[in-house]
């Protein structure tokens, strides 16, 4: 049993998303931070390839985003652990957002208009929740 808790929600989120994608039958490569804006490279069995930027959030506030890569083959997957990051029995909320759509839900961070973000409350009950089918539509 591990004695030190890992506090990096982003790394845990990348592995979580990779695991879910493997379970769905995709081939997944984790870049481990070696590629800016691309955390996962995902191949469909038919040969199509997409890229994913994963953002993890321990609570229910905002995911800071600075989307530069805009492509029909690039996605953002946002996870919220809803203040239960250390509880492995609680599954995170997952939001799959095409990069072509992300600008529609971006807003300015409260008190910091220079930082763009996606607010948890903007997506928590919307069409992007658990929308894994958007990846290879």
Check residue 73 and give its pLDDT: 97
Report how far apart, in Å, the C-alpha atoms of 2 and of each of 6, 22, 57, 75 are: 9, 25, 22, 32
Check residue 14 and give its pLDDT: 96
Check residue 4 and give its pLDDT: 53
Check residue 43 and give its pLDDT: 98
The number of beta carbons lying within 10 Å of the beta carbon of residue 116 is: 18
Check residue 7 and give its pLDDT: 56
The full set of domains in the chain, from first to last, is 9-134 (3.40.1350.10)
Check residue 9 and give its pLDDT: 79
Check residue 69 and give its pLDDT: 78
Nearest to 56, CA basis, from 20, 31, 80: 80
Residue recorded with tokens 């992300």: 102
Q: What is the pLDDT along the chain (137 residues), one digit of tens a residue?
A: 454 555 577 889 999 999 999 999 999 999 987 788 899 999 999 999 999 999 999 999 999 998 887 899 999 999 999 999 989 898 999 999 999 999 999 999 887 888 899 999 999 999 999 999 999 98
Check residue 36 and give its pLDDT: 82
């Amino acid at each position: 049993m591990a004695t030190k808790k890992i506090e990096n929600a982003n790394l845990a989120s990348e592995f979580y998303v990779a695991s879910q994608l493997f379970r769905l039958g995709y081939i997944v490569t984790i870049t481990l931070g070696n590629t800016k804006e691309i955390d996962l490279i995902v191949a469909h069995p038919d040969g199509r390839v997409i890229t994913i930027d994963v953002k993890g959030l321990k609570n229910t506030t905002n995911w800071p985003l600075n989307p530069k890569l805009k492509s029909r083959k690039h996605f953002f997957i946002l996870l919220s652990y809803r203040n239960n990051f250390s509880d492995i029995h609680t599954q995170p909320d997952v939001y799959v957002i095409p990069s072509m759509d992300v600008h529609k839900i971006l807003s300015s961070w409260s008190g910091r208009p220079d930082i763009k973000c996606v607010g948890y409350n903007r997506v928590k009950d919307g069409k992007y929740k658990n929308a894994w089918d958007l990846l290879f539509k």
